[in-house]
Amino acid sequence: MQKKLKKSIFLVASSIILASCSAVAPAPTKQKSLFVIWKSPSLKYADQGFLYVLPNKLKFEIYASGQPALKLSIASSQICTGPLCMSKESFNAKYLSKYYPKDTLESILMGKPIFGGKNLKQTSSGFTQHIKSANYDIKYKVTDNYIEFVDKISNVIIKIKNQG
C-alpha cells in the first residue's frame, strides 16, 4: 500500500513539474531588430537591440558584443530592469527625466507621439514634435524606420534604427 502511495505521489509530482515546464510564455505579437543609441547621464549604450511586443507588455533588450547589456520589461505601471522593478515615474527620474510623463519611454520605443501629442506635425514619412519648457527641450522625430529623441536640457538621446 505504501509503495503504491509513493508511486502515486511521484506520478502527480512529475505531472505537475512537466506541466509547468511545458507552459509557454506568450509569443510576441511583434518583434523588431534594432540598432540603438541611448545616451543619458546614467545610461550609455550603442549596439544591436530587440523589441518584443507582447500582450500587455514590452520587452526591450540591448546587446553589447553579443551579450545582453540592458534588459527592460515594460508593463502598464512599472518598468523592470532585470529583477529590479520600479514605477514608470521612478524609472524616468532615474534614467531619463523626472519631468517626463510616465509612458514616455514606451511611446518612444513604439514610435508613438509623446506628451499627449503636443506640437505634433505630420510629415510625409511620420511625424515630428518639438516640446520645450524650463525643464526640457525635446526634439522628437519618427519615420518609417527611424526614431530620434533628443532632450538638450536633460542630456538624453535615444536613436533607434529598425533593422528589418
C-alpha cell at position 115: 506628451
Q: Please give the pLDDT value at position 95.
A: 93
Q: What are phi and psi of 132, to 5 degrees?
A: -130, 140
Model confidence pLDDT, tens digit, residues 102-142:
999 999 999 999 999 999 999 999 999 999 999 999 999 99
The reply to whether the predicted model has a pTM over 0.75 is yes
- 153's CB contacts (< 8 A; 6+ apart) are 97, 135, 136, 137
Instruction: Decide if 128 contacts 117 (C-beta within 8 A).
Output: no
Q: Please give the pLDDT value at position 31.
A: 86
How far apart, in whole angstroms, are the C-alpha atoms of residue 124 and residue 135?
A: 30
Instruction: Decide if 96 contacts 86 (C-beta within 8 A).
Output: no
* Angstrom distances, CA of residue 138 to CA of 116, 119, 130: 14, 11, 6
- 82's CB contacts (< 8 A; 6+ apart) are 71
Model confidence pLDDT, tens digit, residues 144-162:
999 999 999 999 999 999 9
Model confidence pLDDT, tens digit, residues 10-68:
444 444 444 433 344 556 577 889 999 999 999 899 999 999 999 889 999 998 877 88
- 93's CB contacts (< 8 A; 6+ apart) are none
* All structural domains of the chain: 28-162 (2.50.20.10)
Cell numbers 518583434 label which residue? Answer: 31
